[in-house]
A and B are shown apart, each in its own frame.
Chain A
């Protein structure tokens, strides 16, 4: 089971995605503008943006024919709460161990 706070951390765990966040902290950008800053394909950038959106670290807003990516405070708030992150992390892992050993 994946939870929202884990989506936020998963999104933050990659250096390219952190760089994208730093860029978006300065201004809102389209996918094309972001892709121009990285030596990776537009499709790869799109994948990173999807993960950032799933982690609630950015939101995407259609403006005309463009889609604007904007920094989103919700995920950052989740990230503040490390205790709940590890709480869920260990619950998930220990319940896997329990299932594994108790079904042997």
Chain B
């Protein structure tokens, strides 16, 4: 696990089977995250939507369901609009406990993906940004050097 991995655990007073449905069914995802275009299926792409002020639904999070082990674990590739399609990895773990479920989220690859999108922003914004992007450039080159 790298230093740029995010990991969070919460305790839920519901069975893993119930929690699983909230992670994979389109309407239930909409109740706490963003509604999905379709129920999530192993090996398939997914799109999570947000309805804007203008009433138009836009895809705000998307990726592929890499693996599913109902109701124990699931792995997604995951990106958000400002990351511009640079993919990160989200892993969900569901553990049955007395009285409920411990749900653990692990999110990896964020700084690498941010490096890619920073590069895209740099190209788009060109000069004039130099002073603000100086630090971002060094981040990007550090990332590239690692690869």
Chain B neighbourhood of A76, CB < 8 A: 129, 132-133
Knowing A21-B125, A22-B124, A90-B105, say if A101 contacts B4 (CB, 8 Å).
no
Task: Give residues of chain B (122-140) contacting chain A, Cβ–Cβ below 8 Å.
Answer: 124-129, 131-133, 135-136, 139
- Distance of A93 Cα from B31 Cα, bound (Å): 10
Q: How many residues of B contact A (CB 8 A)?
A: 39
Task: Judge whether B6 and A73 touch: CB under 8 Å.
Answer: no
- Distance of A89 Cα from B50 Cα, bound (Å): 14
Knowing A22-B126, A25-B129, A93-B32, say if A80 contacts B8 (CB, 8 Å).
no
Minimum CB–CB distance for B21 against chain A, Å: 10
Task: Judge whether B6 and A101 touch: CB under 8 Å.
Answer: no
- Distance of A73 Cα from B126 Cα, bound (Å): 15
Minimum CB–CB distance for B95 against chain A, Å: 15
Task: Give residues of chain B (96-147) contacting chain A, Cβ–Cβ below 8 Å.
Answer: 103, 105, 107, 110-111, 113-114, 118, 124-129, 131-133, 135-136, 139
Chain A residues packing against B (C-beta within 8 Å): 9, 12-13, 18, 21-22, 25-26, 71, 73, 76-77, 79-80, 82-83, 86-87, 89-91, 93-98, 100-102, 104
7 A-B pairs whose Cβ atoms sit less than 8 Å apart in the complex? A76-B132, A82-B114, A83-B110, A83-B111, A86-B6, A90-B8, A101-B12
